[in-house]
Amino acid sequence: MADCFSLQNIFENFKSCLSDNKEVYIKYYIAGWRELVSFMNTLGSLFSFISKDAVTKIQILEKFLTGENGTHYTTVQSMVKYELDNKLVDLTKGGNYPASGCRTLLRLHRALRWLQLFLESLRTSTENSKTSVMCSEAYNASLAQHQPWLIRKAAEMAFCTLPGRDAFFDVMNAGSHQEVIALLGEALPLISEVYQITEDLYAKNNLLDLP
């Protein structure tokens, strides 16, 4: 699956994320991220510093999921409950659990907001729109607020090397531009829903600023 990246695969995973009672399956959340990473890796080496960090986060969550307490990590909801009930989350810096599932997933969750904004602006873009501008606007409205200066600069540099809009549509490997746009229109509500459910859950539990 990793070598034949397609936009469709990403969306299938995010679709599978939601259980009947609107819980978010970590297994598919991670699988969606794996697809995103394989996409990022097609964009060139400047993006590898971004994808490396995403991979590290994915691996941390995978380890919890396949570990001895794995059943508690079935959904984001069960993870939050389990880790909070058992005091496995550092609420401030310098505790015993710097790599909790909750704080790790929060990093991906924030990045998902970036993705949502970026894909939405790609979907509604016109021929003259620049991917680098769309990408950095999405970034500044989301992830950038949580990242230090040096990382912001490096990210901006990477954005400048993004392929143009036409090439970008092609690399998404989902048919004609019209088809890509239609697929984005179908898929974005799904990503938004997964994002919003996670956001509400984290807000309710005061977890949005985990160090």
Residues at the contact surface with ligand 1PZ, assessed by CB under 6 A: 36, 39-40, 43, 47, 49-50, 53-54, 107, 110-111, 114-115, 135, 139, 143, 151, 155
In the complex, the smallest distance separating the C-beta of residue 162 from ligand 1PZ, rounded to whole angstroms, is: 6
Q: Which of 49, 200 has the CB closer to ligand 1PZ? A: 49
In the complex, the smallest distance separating the C-beta of residue 26 from ligand 1PZ, rounded to whole angstroms, is: 16
The rounded distance, in Å, linking the Cα atoms of 57 and 30 is 9
- Report the length, in residues, of the chain: 211
Q: Which of 39, 195 has the CB closer to ligand 1PZ? A: 39
* Nearest one of 20, 169, 167, 32 to 109, comparing CA atoms: 32
Q: Which of 71, 211 has the CB closer to ligand 1PZ? A: 211
In the complex, the smallest distance separating the C-beta of residue 202 from ligand 1PZ, rounded to whole angstroms, is: 15
In the complex, the smallest distance separating the C-beta of residue 18 from ligand 1PZ, rounded to whole angstroms, is: 20
**Is the Cβ–Cβ distance between 182 and 60 less than 8 Å?**
no
In the complex, the smallest distance separating the C-beta of residue 20 from ligand 1PZ, rounded to whole angstroms, is: 28
The rounded distance, in Å, linking the Cα atoms of 45 and 33 is 18
68 dihedral zone (left: phi>0; alpha: psi -120 to 50; beta): alpha
Residue 66 burial (CB count, 10 A): 10
Q: Which of 80, 106 has the CB closer to ligand 1PZ? A: 106
Q: Look-up: residue for tokens 């950095």? A: 136
Q: Which residue is nearest to ligand 1PZ (CB)?
A: 53
Helix (H) or strand (E) holding 137: helix 131-140
